[in-house]
Amino acid sequence: MKAIRLVGYTFGGLSAVYAGYYTVLYLTRWEWQRALISAALLIVVEVFLATVLLLTRFSRLEDRIEQSDARVEEVRQRLEQTRAPALNRFNWLSSTDLTELNGTHRTFVFVPVLMVAGAALSGIAMVIQKVAGATGRPGAERRLAGRLAALTAPPVTAAVPLETRPAVPPARNGRKALAVATGVGGLLLVPLLWSALADATQTRPERAPEAAVTTMVFRVETYGDQSDQAVQLAATDLWETCQRSTAATNDNATLNRMDDGVYTAVIRPALPPHDVMRLRGCLQDANTNRTSAVVLGEGQAERRS
């Protein structure tokens, strides 16, 4: 059981790290569709880990309840074994000597009416006593056993005798130091990651580069209809969508078709490096219907004099 839980935790932890890494990576590349898919996968893995953890806790709680019930039942049985036998509260009705004529001489003082009435009342009292003892004693003994279970010694196993067990569990200084170091490292790492992610996804305008033209070469593929007209429409739709993804204005941009679904985009004036990254991420994260694109290369040309 422990091996199965360990495998589940390992698989879930590695999957969460993998999905979280690619979520941040796609965000820095401005590939929003892929980032959403990775984030959704991360949420699924987190729900899986939380479910495994809850099931493990519920299983442990159920085992503890069963052990506690077993201990209470054991204590109740011990109380029942050590209980003194019930006294006969109606000795005056019992015979002292069944072989002698005067064996019931104690009852001669009662007149017949009183004797019949006493016998009837004694029978009723006996029935009440039996009913009360049968209904009240188990519950009272069970409650008493539950209170005494905390004072009983723990069950002794054959492998580990009770005398060898320490009264107080040893302190785990190494685990505490590791937890403190992990917490401090996480607190120091969060601002750095936050700053890096904010810088990668910033939308503020940047200083114009020295070049005059930005070129980007990419290949467009369609699924289903792969005719030249369908590829041309998909490439035009994708380029018009991604052309508006940059912070800098790029109204003067042309799209030229080459061979085998390869297209070249020329943008004037040249885009800053961050806008080039955003444009490349938008093209590779093609969200048009049944269309995919791969950027083959980009560059800056025609330096200003």
- pLDDT, residue 97, reads 55
- What are the tens digits of pLDDT across the range 100-152? 544 444 545 545 666 677 778 888 888 887 777 666 666 666 776 777 666 66
Tally the C-alpha atoms within 13 A of residue 201's C-alpha that lie toward its C-beta. 16
Query: What are the domain boundaries of the chain?
Result: 1-93+108-154, 211-303
Global confidence as pTM: 0.54
Angle between helices 32-82 and 2-28 (to 10 degrees): 160
Under CATH, which architecture does the 211-303 domain have? 2-Layer Sandwich (3.30)
β-partners of residue 292 are 221
Angle between helices 112-149 and 32-82 (to 10 degrees): 140
- pLDDT, residue 90, reads 53
Longest dimension (CA), the chain: 144
